[in-house]
Amino acid sequence: MVGTAPTEQLAALAATTVIVHPLVLLSVSDHHARTSARMSHKRVVGVLLGQNNGKTVNVANSFGIPFEEDEKDPKTWFLDHNYIESMAEMFKKVNAREKMIGWYHTGPQLRASDQEINDVFKRYIPQPVMVIVDTRQSTVGIPTEAYFAVEEIKDDGSESKRTFLHVPSAIEAEEAEEIGVEHLLRDIKDSTTTTLATRVTQQADSLRALQSRIKDLRDYLLQVAKGKLPVNHQITYHLQDALNLLPDLSNPVTTGSFIMNTNDQLLVVYLTSLVRAVIALHALVDNKAQNSRTEAEEAKKSESAIGNGKEKDKVKDSSTKTEEKGKST
């Protein structure tokens, strides 16, 4: 049975950042692709390797493990313990710095059996981290969600329950990994897409990701208001901080600053359009002048050609007359 986590421990876990390397994402995607070829809706499970210094969890490597579960009964699942131990020993021989720090699955959401699977990994790690890697192509934003298993204490003094504490996650790469990622992006990048279109697409994806996060917050607050979910003070504190950072649009100084900034940006757009129009008109005038010069040169050539033809005809006529006179004489 998991002991009740004190407030200091929960605060330390909440301040932990999980850093996932691109190699792990590629390995998980490959594991899911090979497994989903047989069963499209099946999730995969694997072990995470790296370092945990308390404040950051560096997930540098991973390997998949045999896992089976019953979709209809979440309590029925199988995990190969011997495979985990043998693979961990082999990875330890290759790189002793990469230790077992947790496990992953491709969810894409939390499931009822995750607590029991996490208890299995507690045989090897005191506090394993669980990372959900969303392998769906429609995913917007970072495809990783990191959690630690804790025991939540109720405010009303009722019995506590085990749950997962969400911690922030990020994707970082070392220099060697950056080179490999750049080569992959170079192969899949559309060469016909301009830089402006790429930037607009990235901003649109960011806005869609923000919209999905705001929708999750709205759904959570509605569930709390209906009494279907308990109040989480940590979430409300973060929401209050986010709301305090929003600008006061009722303040005329703030609205005036926004209007001034918008006008400055529109002025740049207007000047850009004006310059483009002037350049296009200048190119049109140059084109017409060039066409006129070309037509005049062609007309001169044709006139000179006609003149040369007439001179040749006159020479022929004079020579013909001279021959006739000689014959008659």
- Look at residue 129 and tell me whether its pLDDT is greater than 90: yes
Split at pLDDT 50, 70, 90, the class of 48 is: very high
E-assigned strand segments in 70-186:
77-79, 99-105, 129-133, 144-152, 161-167, 169-171
Residue 104: closest CA among 131, 68, 77: 131
- Look at residue 115 and tell me whether its pLDDT is greater than 80: yes
3-class state of residue 37 by DSSP: coil
Where in the chain are the domains?
7-189, 192-246, 251-287
**Is 133 in contact with 28 (CB distance < 8 Å)?**
yes
**What are the tokens at 148?**
């630690």
**Is 152 in contact with 160 (CB distance < 8 Å)?**
yes
Work out the average pLDDT over 11-38.
Answer: 85
Residues 112, 107, 67: CA angle, nearest 5 degrees: 80
For 301-313, the pLDDT digits (tens) are 887 877 776 666 6
Determine the Cα–Cα distance for residues 42 and 21; give it in Å rounded to an integer: 24
**What are the tokens at 24?**
């792990």
- Look at residue 39 and tell me whether its pLDDT is greater than 80: no
**Is 150 in contact with 10 (CB distance < 8 Å)?**
yes
- pTM given for the model: 0.64
Residue 198: φ, ψ to 5°? -65, -45
- Look at residue 183 and tell me whether its pLDDT is greater than 80: no
Q: Calculate the dihedral angle through the C-alpha atoms of 33, 34, 39, 43, rounding to the nearest 10 degrees.
A: -60
Residue 163: closest CA among 147, 182, 177: 147
Work out the average pLDDT over 179-196.
Answer: 69
Determine the Cα–Cα distance for residues 147 and 107; give it in Å rounded to an integer: 13
The reported pLDDT for the residue numbered 233 is: 84
Split at pLDDT 50, 70, 90, the class of 204 is: confident
Can you tell me which residue has the tokens 């901080």? 241
Mean pLDDT (the chain, rounded): 83
The reported pLDDT for the residue numbered 24 is: 92
Residues in the chain: 329
Split at pLDDT 50, 70, 90, the class of 40 is: low
**What are the tokens at 232?**
């989480």
Task: Give bridge partners of residue 59 from the DSSP assignment.
Answer: 20, 50
Q: Calculate the dihedral angle through the C-alpha atoms of 158, 163, 168, 173, rounding to the nearest 10 degrees.
A: 160
**Is 31 in contact with 187 (CB distance < 8 Å)?**
no
Neighbouring CB atoms inside 10 A of 305's CB total 9
CATH number of 7-189: 3.40.140.10
The reported pLDDT for the residue numbered 176 is: 79
Determine the Cα–Cα distance for residues 243 and 49; give it in Å rounded to an integer: 38
Work out the average pLDDT over 193-209.
Answer: 80
What's the distance, Cα to Cα, between the start and end of the chain in Å? 141
The reported pLDDT for the residue numbered 281 is: 93
- Look at residue 286 and tell me whether its pLDDT is greater than 80: yes
